[in-house]
Amino acid sequence: MRPRRGLDSSSVWAQRVRQLEQRLRTKEERIVVLETENAVLHLKLAEYQGLAGRCTSEVLQLYAAHGQQMKFQRSSAVTQLHVAIKRLKQDLKSLHSFALELSKDFQRQSKTCLYQVLAAVQGIQLQNEAMQMFQIKAFDLEQSLQEVTERYEKEKQKRKALHNSLIELRGNIRVHCRIRPLLPFDDAAGHSQDRQRSFSEKVAYAADDETILVKCSRPGHASVNKTFQFERVYNDLESQDAIFADVAPLLTSLLDGYNVCIMAYGQTGSGKTYTMLGPQLEGNLAFTTEEESELGIIPRATQEVFRLLSEKPPGSYWVEVSVVEVYNNEIFDLLAKDSCGKVFGIKRDVVTTREGKSDVPLLTHETVENASEFLHLVNKGLHLRVTHPTLVHAHSSRSHLVVTLNITTVVFGDNFGILWEDEQTSQRINKEASFTFTQKMRDNISTSSSRASSPVQLEATEKMKQVKTRLQLVDLAGSECVGMSGVTGAALRETSFINRSLSALADVLGAIAEQRAHIPYRNSKLTHLLQDSVGGDAKLLVMLCISPGQKYLTESMQSLGFGTRARQVQRGQVKKKNFPVPSKGK
Ligand code: ADP
Ligand code: MG
């Protein structure tokens, strides 16, 4: 066996070598082919590498050119943009700082405003609270005011009634007597010294406040020792102030609705004009304190009337003045003016109206707003007053001077005491009127209510009433006897007219005293003119003026007789009327 196996394996090995050789050859052939192909490919690669290198340089060139161009373009735009950006940045920066400032400022301001608003709100709150308090207080005050007003009105009525009772108790006709001091002209010039001494000897004295004593014993004459009683007697030292103090209560009556008359009676030179007007009135009207203390009843009464009126609502009253003189039984209007506005006395007549009141048609009535306007008018009128020198006194007035104040008050409804209950209505009416309230009230009331243009006016006018009261202030002419004055002719006629009018006055007072049905007011122009302020409810004050010298004894006795007679009037009235006496507890 063994040799076979040896032969077989060598052939196999030979075959195997052959096969391997064959495969090697094939592989070598394949390597040659591949090397060839590789060479070709290397060639081609080299070729393409060359081409790529050329292309790359071209691309690089182009890229460089493009880059340069872009760089150029970009550099100019960028510069511009840069500048703009820079500017914008600056603007932005300043804007930013401005906005910052603004916002800070705004914050500051809004803070301040906030504080202010807060303070204002607090203030308003406080004010509101205060206002509410005030409203409550005002309401309370209004209520208490209303109550007080009501009580005041009641008290006013009571006061008025009591005052009137008091005045009536004192007498609706009262007589006061004033003795003037002895004056240089009381000496009887031209007579012997003894005669002079006895003439200027004092025979009339004020024994006390109510009694005057006349005591005189002359050789060849029956001696006189007589006393007279009056409501008040003033001695020669008593001032104008003291005289007026007793007159003033009558003016309260005047404003309560009663007519009042104050007259000075006495012989020439006894101090009538001094008592009624005072010595200064005919000068200028700007008084010194000293002059003011010398003012008489007329200026003082007017001041008092305006003072009392000023307590009433404005526009609810007006005052008209007339000044007349009664000379030789004729009435002269001393405020009448001619067409040139010059004042001169015009003769007027006195008549009795249907209502039985005395009236002087066409008499000049001037409206006055205050006492100095009034004095100015009286002063004007006085310049026209007829004077005539007699032996008694060089500037004696030979006429009766009658100064009249007509006071009209507007009152509501039937309640005489309540003036302008409705103050608001007064104000409303005031607003509506283009002319003064006083004028309108006068027009509306004195004509018909249809003239009142608005419903408010109409309603107010229907409720309103006018109340007229009159104050007559009279400086009578001298009451001396004809023989004594030593006058004749025209002056004698004057004196006789004066005496007649004064005795007519005495008759009127006598008739009132006896309560006669007919009072002879019309017997003289003087009494006719004074009719409404003498007698009835009117209050009359007669101021007897007495010269104290022996020289005037007869005249003084005559005047005292007149006063006593007038005083009896009052006594008679009081007794008959039996007025209630106000008790102290009331
Ligand atoms: P009648 O008006 O009565 O004629 P008057 O008033 O003119 O009198 O007075 C005459 C004079 O007496 C005047 O000069 C006046 O100044 C003066 N006289 C009057 N009464 C007084 C008095 N009481 N005090 C001072 N002088 C008076
Ligand atoms: Mg006189």
pLDDT tens by residue, 548-579 = 999 899 999 999 999 998 876 554 444 433 33
Give me the pLDDT at residue 579, please.
31
Q: Can you tell me which atom of ligand 1 is nearest the CA of 238?
A: 23
Task: Say yes or no to pLDDT of 471 above 90.
Answer: yes
Give me the pLDDT at residue 496, please.
85
Q: Can you tell me which atom of ligand 1 is nearest the CA of 397?
A: 4
Task: Say yes or no to pLDDT of 270 above 80.
Answer: yes
Q: Can you tell me which atom of ligand 1 is nearest the CA of 268?
A: 4
Task: Say yes or no to pLDDT of 447 above 80.
Answer: no
Query: To test ligand 1's pocket by mutation, which of 274, 479, 551 has the most ligand atoms within 8 angstroms of CB?
Result: 274
Q: Answer whether 278 contacts ligand 1 (Cβ < 6 A).
A: no
Give me the pLDDT at residue 485, please.
53
Dist CA 244 CA 300 (whole Å): 7
Ligand 1 center–CA 530 separation, angstroms: 24
Task: Say yes or no to pLDDT of 204 above 80.
Answer: yes
- Residue 472 marked as a ligand binder: no
Closest CA to 362 of 331, 319, 391, 384: 331
Q: Can you tell me which atom of ligand 1 is nearest the CA of 277?
A: 6
pLDDT band at 395 (very low <50, low <70, confident <90, very high): very low
Dist CA 134 CA 156 (whole Å): 30
Closest CA to 174 of 114, 102, 250, 110: 250
Q: Can you tell me which atom of ligand 1 is nearest the CA of 392?
A: 4
Q: Answer whether 393 contacts ligand 1 (Cβ < 6 A).
A: yes
Look at 7-11, 44-48, 76-80 and tell me which has the smallest mean pLDDT. Answer: 7-11
Q: Can you tell me which atom of ligand 1 is nearest the CA of 545?
A: 3
- Residue 268 marked as a ligand binder: yes
Dist CA 167 CA 581 (whole Å): 11
pLDDT band at 218 (very low <50, low <70, confident <90, very high): confident
Task: Say yes or no to pLDDT of 220 above 80.
Answer: no
Quick one: tokens of 437? 């309230």
Query: To test ligand 1's pocket by mutation, which of 183, 395, 556 has the most ligand atoms within 8 angstroms of CB?
Result: 183
Residue 504 CB partners (closer than 8 Å, separation 6+): 520, 523, 524, 526, 527
Architecture category of domain 173-184+200-280+294-412+464-568 in CATH: 3-Layer(aba) Sandwich (3.40)
pLDDT band at 166 (very low <50, low <70, confident <90, very high): confident
Select the more confidently predicted residue: 325 or 580. Answer: 325
Give me the pLDDT at residue 214, please.
95
Give me the pLDDT at residue 67, please.
87
Give the count of alpha carbons within 13 A of 345, CB side only: 20
Ligand 1 center–CA 207 separation, angstroms: 21
Task: Say yes or no to pLDDT of 200 above 70.
Answer: no
Residues 56-69: what's their mean pLDDT? 90
Give me the pLDDT at residue 78, please.
81
Q: List the residue whose alpha carbon is closest to atom 5 of ligand 1.
A: 271
Look at 67-76, 113-122, 279-288, 432-441 and tell me which has the smallest mean pLDDT. Answer: 432-441
Task: Say yes or no to pLDDT of 141 above 60.
Answer: yes
- Residue 510 marked as a ligand binder: no
Dist CA 444 CA 464 (whole Å): 10
Q: Answer whether 266 contacts ligand 1 (Cβ < 6 A).
A: yes
Dist CA 225 CA 241 (whole Å): 30
Quick one: tokens of 560? 């005292």
DSSP letter string over 280-329? STTS-S---HHHHHT--HHHHHHHHHHHHHTTSPTTSEEEEEEEEEEETT
Task: Say yes or no to pLDDT of 581 above 50.
Answer: no
CA angle 357, 398, 396 (to 5 degrees): 135
Ligand 2 center–CA 495 separation, angstroms: 14
Give me the pLDDT at residue 170, please.
61
Q: What is the dihedral of CA 542, 548, 551, 556, to 10 degrees?
A: 20
Dist CA 349 CA 362 (whole Å): 9
Q: Answer whether 272 contacts ligand 1 (Cβ < 6 A).
A: yes
Residues 115-142: what's their mean pLDDT? 93
pLDDT band at 192 (very low <50, low <70, confident <90, very high): low
Alpha-carbon distances, residue 542 vs 53, 276, 577 (angstroms): 159, 11, 21
Residues 419-427: what's their mean pLDDT? 40
Domain residue spans in the chain?
A: 20-170, 173-184+200-280+294-412+464-568
Give me the pLDDT at residue 569, please.
54
Task: Say yes or no to pLDDT of 2 above 60.
Answer: no
Ligand 2 center–CA 240 separation, angstroms: 16
Ligand 1 center–CA 409 separation, angstroms: 36
| Ligand of minimum distance to the alpha carbon of 278 | 1
Select the more confidently predicted residue: 585 or 518. Answer: 518
Q: Can you tell me which atom of ligand 1 is nearest the CA of 266?
A: 3
| Ligand of minimum distance to the alpha carbon of 267 | 1
Q: Answer whether 545 contacts ligand 1 (Cβ < 6 A).
A: yes
DSSP letter for 393, please: -
Look at 147-151, 212-216, 456-460 and tell me which has the smallest mean pLDDT. Answer: 456-460
Average pLDDT, the chain: 81
Give me the pLDDT at residue 265, please.
96
Task: Say yes or no to pLDDT of 476 above 60.
Answer: yes
Give me the pLDDT at residue 522, please.
94
Alpha-carbon distances, residue 194 vs 5, 25, 190, 511, 518 (angstroms): 232, 215, 11, 45, 51
Give me the pLDDT at residue 206, please.
95
Dist CA 4 CA 210 (whole Å): 213
Dist CA 500 CA 502 (whole Å): 5
Ligand 2 center–CA 264 separation, angstroms: 9
Q: Answer whether 269 contacts ligand 1 (Cβ < 6 A).
A: yes
- Residue 495 marked as a ligand binder: no
Q: List the residue whose alpha carbon is closest to atom 9 of ligand 1.
A: 271
- Residue 271 marked as a ligand binder: yes
Q: Can you tell me which atom of ligand 1 is nearest the CA of 178?
A: 23
Q: Answer whether 182 contacts ligand 1 (Cβ < 6 A).
A: no
Q: Answer whether 183 contacts ligand 1 (Cβ < 6 A).
A: yes
**Does residue 477 contact residue 269 with C-beta atoms inside 8 Å?**
no
- Residue 387 marked as a ligand binder: no
Give me the pLDDT at residue 223, please.
86
pLDDT band at 122 (very low <50, low <70, confident <90, very high): very high
pLDDT band at 195 (very low <50, low <70, confident <90, very high): low
Ligand 2 center–CA 166 separation, angstroms: 31
Which residue is it, tokens 């006719």?
A: 528
Give me the pLDDT at residue 314, please.
85
**Does residue 459 contact residue 424 with C-beta atoms inside 8 Å?**
no
Q: Answer whether 268 contacts ligand 1 (Cβ < 6 A).
A: yes
Residues 443-458: what's their mean pLDDT? 44
- Residue 270 marked as a ligand binder: yes
Quick one: tokens of 203? 């025979």
Look at 59-63, 113-117, 381-385 and tell me which has the smallest mean pLDDT. Answer: 381-385
pLDDT band at 580 (very low <50, low <70, confident <90, very high): very low
